[in-house]
Amino acid sequence: MKRSFVILLNIGFWACYFIMITIMLAVYYRSSLHVTNQESRIINALKNLFFFAFIPSIISYVLNYFLLFPKYLQQKKYLLSTVFGIFISVGAALIGYILLRVYIESGNLQDMDQGGKPGRSTAGIVILAMTLIGLISGTVALIIRGFITWVNEIKIKEILTEKNHEMEMALIKSQLDPHLLFNTINNIDALILKDSAVASDYLNKLSDIMRFILYETKGDRIPLSKEIEYIDKYIALQKIRTANENYVHFTVTGIIGEVSIAPMVFIPFIENAFKHANNKKMENAITVNIHIMYNTIQLVCENKFDTKMAVSPTYGGLGNELIEKRLQLIYAGKHSLNVTKTNERYCINLTIPHG
């Protein structure tokens, strides 16, 4: 939802609130137009109403809108939301009443006349009424904030669906790149004459990779074990192209368990590492480390390139932009992505939460 509309929505509430108070005040004084000093009485009444009606409302509205809703109600902590909502309303009423009495005692205000706001003898009734006003304003604040959040979530889901589809198409095109398929098939074909069993194993890995891309990445979440299994098979297929046993170093630390992540979050970064590691004879040319911690998962993916063989590659382009947008949509405010680039090394450090 646009920021301007959110501001207008809040202004609209306070405008309606002010109009309602003004109407009530006008009705209260319509039968006493003949009374002298009417203007001073109305001004005094407005000052009283500021402490009686506006102070509790403003405090309750602001605290419910900016604190209680995002911290408790949005997190579905309904009991705590109710308790803190009542505390906020009572606290706002006490603050309003104390300020009201201070100004009355200082002579800046006078108690409203008969039929108006009571004095000390009925302090409990006054505080109760102010608490009720605070509760009403706080409830309206929660409704407005809830409506805004609901609209924003609908828009985010629509954007996420669109971006996921766009990302899915881009990734499928990248994964099923003819060069990858042709190179892998040719390598497997060469292995058939040397060792048919090994060739068959690699062919099964390629089949599993294609099946994973086409069928197992449709949902919002997949088990982390599936993503790691794919990465392991992808690395195995890439290693066919080199006799260097230490070309790739892949490790997983921590307990995988039932951890889940968004599909194909890590894979694009690993693919980029293979695309831009230009010397297959280099030791540990590609290093991939996945660290599973208590409530986060970290991917550290690094590739080296030999500046003597080629100019340092660039890592921009539509693919990386889509990846970063997708991360922002899925893990907005909950993930971190750091990129380190030198003349001989490119490293990404990605941390995402579980689930």
Which pLDDT tens digit goes with each residue over 229-261? 989 988 888 888 788 888 899 999 999 988 999
Residue 265: inside a domain, yes or no? yes
Shared-domain flag, residues 59 and 138: yes
pLDDT at 220: 77
- The predicted-structure confidence for 266-277, as pLDDT tens digits, reads as follows 888 888 888 888
Instruction: Specify whether 224 is located in the same domain as 106.
Output: no
Q: Does one domain contain both 114 and 20?
A: yes
60, pLDDT greater than 80: yes
Report the candidate in 338, 333, 336 with the shortest Cα–Cα distance to residue 351.
336
Q: Do residue 237 and residue 104 come from a single domain?
A: no
Domain count, the chain: 2
Tell me the CB-side half-sphere exposure of residue 322, using CA atoms within 13 A.
17
Q: Which one of 104, 131, 156 terminates a domain?
A: 156
Which of 6-10, 45-49, 61-65, 187-191 tops mean pLDDT? 61-65
In a domain, 174, yes or no: no
Which residue, of 156, 177, 205, is where some domain finishes? 156
136 pLDDT tier (thresholds 50, 70, 90): very high
Please determine, for residue 123, whether its predicted confidence score (pLDDT) is greater than 60: yes
- Dig out the tokens for 33 from the structure: 């137009």
Domain that holds residue 35: 3-156
**Which span out of 97-101, 140-144, 259-263 was modeled with the highest average pLDDT?**
140-144
Strands 248-253 and 286-292: parallel
Tell me what pLDDT residue 74 has: 87
Residues 268 and 140 in one domain: no
Q: Is residue 220 part of a domain?
A: yes
Tell me, yes or no, whether 342 lies in a domain.
yes
pLDDT of residue 108: 62
The last residue of one of the domains, among 130, 156, 182, is 156
Same domain, 110 and 222: no
The residue ranking higher by pLDDT, 146 or 354, is 146
Mind listing the pLDDT tens digit for each residue in 279-293? 778 888 899 999 999
Same domain (yes/no): 13, 122: yes
Please tell me the number of Cα atoms within 13 Å of 53 on its side-chain side.
16
How far, in Å, CA of 140 to CA of 128, rounded?
18
Asked if 315 contacts 268 with a C-beta cutoff of 8 angstroms, the reply is no
Q: Is residue 164 part of a domain?
A: no
State whether 123 and 232 are in the same domain: no
Q: Kindly state whether residues 151 and 231 are assigned to the same domain.
A: no
Domain contains 172: no
Task: Indicate whether 152 and 282 sit together in one domain.
Answer: no
90, 156, 80: which is closest to 331 by C-alpha? Answer: 156
Alpha carbons 10 and 210: distance in angstroms, whole number: 52
pTM above 0.85, yes or no: no
- The CATH number assigned to the domain holding 249 equals 3.30.565.10
**Whether residue 148 is found in the same domain as residue 243:** no
Asked if the structure places residue 249 within a domain, the reply is yes
Write down the residue that tokens 């929660």 correspond to: 142
Query: Average pLDDT for residues 301-322, to the nearest whole number?
Result: 63
CA Rg, the chain, in Å? 33
107-121: pLDDT as tens digits:
666 655 444 444 454
As a whole number of angstroms, the distance between CA 145 and CA 132 comes to 20
Q: Are 23 and 151 in the same domain? A: yes
| β partners of residue 296 | 353
> Is 73 within the bounds of a domain?
yes
- Mean pLDDT on 82-99: 91
CA distance 92 to 103: 17
Segment 38-59 mean pLDDT: 77
